[in-house]
Structures are given as structure tokens and as C-alpha cells.
Amino acid sequence: MSATARVLTGLAAGAAIGLLLVGWNPALALQIADVAQPIGKLWLNALQMTVVPLVLALVVVGVNTATDAAASGRIARRAIVVFIVVLTGGALFAALAAPLVFALFPHNPALIVALGHAAIPAAAQAAPVSWVDALTAIVPNNAIMAAAQSAMLPLVVFALFFGFALTRLAPERRALLLEFFQAIADAMIVIVRWVLWAAPLGVFALILSVCARSGLGMLSALGVYVLVECLLYLAVTVMMLPVALMFGGERIRRFAAALVPAQVVALSTQSSLASLPAMLESADRRLGYPQQVTALVLPMAVSLFRLTSPVQYMTSAAFIAWAYGVDLTTAQLLAGAMLAVVISLGSVGLPGQVTFIATNLPVAQAMGLPLSPLGLMLAVDTIPDALATLGNVTADLTAVSVVTRQSRRDTA
């Protein structure tokens, strides 16, 4: 049985037992929930303990990876710029759209108690600070304190400075430090994999505890999360067509038809890497892009550019805020969106379930949101994976169209 199937089995078993207990003996259900909840929290804490060193290492290594790619030529530099601009647009769109879409669904106040937080966390309750305080807090006056307090946005800013500083060092010293941070990231991923081995038990305990308290409420809430995530994935996928029209100079009908073979592979394999041959064929034969552009930009896009990643992070954060009845401020949404872009670029090559924990958790932390629902969301997030890959593949070819147009202008 695959890891995904094991987690979904734990989710289904926990939900079924929790609902049966509620229907049979509500008092006993609450007693069992009190026993199961610490097990689920222990599992979630074990995942959370790896996030600070993992994010620090990923951002430092990711900055240097992107810098190396951009140094390889003008086409690569343009591709990096296109990736960052489109990722930022996707993150801001999700930051605006996700809270609005979740607001269309009725909120169940019992979810707060069922999730083990009778009150909204202090970070979410705090009065909005002035824009001056919010701005100055971005740069930490003590990076170690920021890490100790899980202040993710200041920590990532420090990691960005540190990563760019490494690019100015002598090659041998830079390679030594990069190897060190890569080793930290690899070690954290090993720990996360160990913890994810126990994911069926952790998810089972979490969902049993929640369903024993809220009945069908949490299952319906998870359904809302999956639905909204799928809708936003489809929305950003469709938004790539006008981007190709306006900035890539493409005709919509021709471009959309050329996308189909790669999109079919993406839906069937749920892998951008497996879709790369189909993307190369479409770019070459159907769209007529120069080989020197597609041969460089598409492999870069598969590695560095995942449009739906920041959309997922912001949707997850917006769902948690909706479940807890938290009204997200503009500052929280902007901070989350910018952090989502940086983490998306830094999370290259991580396996699926590891990616979810390593990326969604810091964004939720940076926005001052509770983290308890993330274990349950990990279990159901595999459902929209096919649509996520569809969006990523569409964005990859859109990026190639934009870079191709700019390159042709140079030679005109």
C-alpha cells in the first residue's frame, strides 16, 4: 500500500470511528477524543520541529541555485524573472480570492473547539500594528531569536540575505557552506520521512478526536477546503491563457490546442517531470519555439517554477483562518503571499508529503494561524494533485512563450 493510501485509510478509519462513537455514546466519544488528541498533537509537533532548520536551509540553497541558473545566460535570467513575476501574481490572486471564496460557505463555530483550540491564538487576536511596525519587523534584529520564536518571515529574510551573501564568497568556501546547508535540509527530510511513516496513526488520532467532538462538521469543512483548492487551481490555469496572449504574443486557440498533449500527460501522471517530453514536443512542433529557448527554460521551469504551490499555501492558510473565524488583515495576506513565493522557489525537489509540511506550516506560522488542522489537510491534499500538475504544466509553457517573445525581440 502506498504512503498516500495509508494516510487516506487512517483518515477514513478515524472519521468513521469518531462518527460512530458520537452516534452511539456522545459522552464516551468525548472521553476517547481526550485520549486520542494528545497522540495527534504529538505527531504534529514532531513534524513542526523540523520546519525552522529545513526552511532556513532550503532558502539558502534555493537562492544559490537560482543565482547559478541566472548566471548561465540572458535567457536563463529572463526565465527566472518570469517565474518570480508569475508566482507572485498567483500568490496575490490566491491571497485575494481564497478568503472571499471561503466566506461563501457557512462557518461552524464548533470547529474551533473540536480542533483543540477553544480560543483563537494570541497572534491572530492581536490588534493590527501600524505599517511602520510591520515593515521594520520584517528584518530581524536577532536572527537566532526569530528562529527560536518561529517568526518565519524575518527568518526567511535573514536566509535570503545569507544566501545572496554566499554568492559573493570564494567558490571553494561557498561550496563548503552550501554543502553544509544541503546536508541540514537532507537530514531534516529524513526526520520528516520518519514522522510521516507514522502519519496514518497521527491522522487517525486527529480526525477521530475532531469527529468525536464536531460530528460531520469537520468532514464537510475538509470537503470545502478541497473544493476551493480545486477551483483556485483551475482559475490560475485559465489565467495563463491571457498571459500567453498579452506577454507571449500567442493566439489563444492555437496555444490552448498545443497545451492539450502535455496537459493530458499531467492529469494522468500527476508529475511535471513526466510531462516534460510532451511539453518539449508541443513547444517545438506545435508552437515553433526556438530549441535553444525550450531546451533551457522548460527544464528550469520543471525544477524551479510551480505556479500552484503558492496558491496552495495561501488557500491552506485561508482555510485555517475560515475554520477558526479569523479575519485576515491585509498585512497578514501580503506577508503570507511574499513568503509563499520565496518558499515555493526554495522547495525544489522535495517529495509530495514532505513538501506540504515544509511549506504550508511556515506560511501559516507567519500569518499567526493555528497549525492543528495541517495534519488533516495533508491527508486530503493528495486529491487535488492532478489539477495542481495541470496548472504547473500550463504555466511552464506559458513562461516559455513569454521568454521566447523577448528573445525574438533581441534578434529582430
pLDDT at site 120: 40
Kindly report, residue by residue over 194-226, the tens digit of the pLDDT: 887 887 888 888 778 777 776 666 777 888 899
- CA distance linking residue 26 with residue 28, whole number of Å: 5
- CA distance linking residue 121 with residue 135, whole number of Å: 22
- CA distance linking residue 343 with residue 333, whole number of Å: 15
- CA distance linking residue 204 with residue 223, whole number of Å: 17
Backbone angles phi, psi at 100, to 5 degrees: -70, -40
Number of domains, the chain: 1
Cα atoms in the 13 Å half-sphere on the side-chain side of 123: 14
CA angle, 118 then 123 then 125, to 5°: 65
CATH number, domain containing residue 127: 1.10.3860
Lowest mean pLDDT among 307-311, 328-332, 353-357, 379-383: 353-357
**CB 351 within 8 Å of CB 330:** no
- CA distance linking residue 70 with residue 78, whole number of Å: 8
Kindly report, residue by residue over 321-348, the tens digit of the pLDDT: 998 888 888 888 988 898 888 888 766 5
DSSP H stretches of helix in 103-121: 110-114
Lowest mean pLDDT among 5-14, 81-90, 146-155, 265-274: 146-155
- CA distance linking residue 391 with residue 272, whole number of Å: 10
Place of cell 525550450: 294
Is 397 a residue whose pLDDT tops 90?
Answer: yes
Backbone angles phi, psi at 401, to 5 degrees: -65, -40
Residue 107: enclosing H or E segment and its boundaries?
none
Q: What is the pTM of this model?
A: 0.79
100: nearest Cα among 228, 218, 235, 240: 228
Is 247 a residue whose pLDDT tops 80?
Answer: yes
All three cell numbers of 179, joined, read: 554543502
CA angle, 311 then 296 then 63, to 5°: 55
- CA distance linking residue 95 with residue 334, whole number of Å: 7
pLDDT band at 146 (very low <50, low <70, confident <90, very high): confident
The 10 Å Cβ neighbour count of residue 72 is: 12
209: nearest Cα among 134, 115, 121: 115
The 10 Å Cβ neighbour count of residue 253 is: 9
Contacts of 105 (CB under 8 A, 6+ apart): 224, 322
Domain span at residue 52 reads 3-411
**CB 388 within 8 Å of CB 395:** no
Contacts of 67 (CB under 8 A, 6+ apart): 164, 167
**CB 199 within 8 Å of CB 6:** yes
Backbone angles phi, psi at 250, to 5 degrees: -90, 155
Contacts of 399 (CB under 8 A, 6+ apart): 79, 82, 83, 86, 297, 301, 305
**CB 247 within 8 Å of CB 253:** no
Question: Where is pLDDT greater, at 105 or 66?
Answer: 105
DSSP state letter for 283:
I
- The string of DSSP codes covering 344-380 is HHH-TT--HHHHHHHHHHHHHHHTT---TTHHHHHHH
pLDDT at site 314: 94
The 10 Å Cβ neighbour count of residue 274 is: 15
- CA distance linking residue 325 with residue 79, whole number of Å: 40
Helix (DSSP H) and strand (DSSP E) numbers for the chain: 20, 0
Residues of the chain with pLDDT > 70, as a percent, come to: 85
Question: Where is pLDDT greater, at 132 or 377?
Answer: 377
Summary mean pLDDT of the chain: 80
All three cell numbers of 238, joined, read: 485559465
Is 349 a residue whose pLDDT tops 60?
Answer: no
